Amino acid sequence: MKKMILFGLLLSFITLTAGAQELRNGNNSCIGKIDSDGTVRNGNNSTIGKIDSDGTIRNSNNATIGKIDSDGTIRNGNNSTIGKIDSDGTVRNGNNSTIGKIDKDGTVRNGNNSTIGYAKDVPKAKAAVFFFFDFFK
């Protein structure tokens, strides 16, 4: 009976973490994850927010704090445009100035083209929200 319970707990853990997409800093240390359901976790695996399938960005209290529009526009909780991610991965602030880029391989670069992190297999808009806009700080 104990083995079955332990197996069930292990299976649940594997199921919950299997779809997680890791976000790593420039030293390749895990600083966060985005689960398959959009839950955003910090490097300590604590829930810090969520990005819903429609692009709504929520904090850990489930309050709406922003939105990613289908065209890559990023809005704050007041629906003001604060940035955009272009189809090529270029990240722009609300003044349309380039503040970074997310390469095809998931390398995240700042405005000086220095590597600041990695977001392999993470949708570019979600990675941009995590690295460049202060929704989850």
Q: What percent of the chain has pLDDT over 90?
A: 82
Cα end-to-end span (Å), the chain = 43
Q: What is the DSSP letter of 98?
A: E
C-beta separation of 100 from 110 below 8 A = yes
Q: Is the pLDDT of residue 16 over 60?
A: no
Instruction: Measure the CA–CA gap between 89 and 41, rounded to whole angstroms.
Output: 23
Query: What contacts 137, CB < 8 A, 6 or more positions away?
Result: none
Tokens representing 104? 């095809």
Q: How many other CB atoms sit within 10 Å of the CB of residue 125?
A: 22
How much is the pTM? Answer: 0.81
Instruction: Measure the CA–CA gap between 132 and 91, rounded to whole angstroms.
Output: 8
pLDDT bucket at 18, cuts 50 / 70 / 90: low
* Structure confidence by residue, pLDDT tens digits, 103-122: 999 999 999 999 999 999 99
SS3 call for 8 = helix
Tokens representing 36? 């398959």
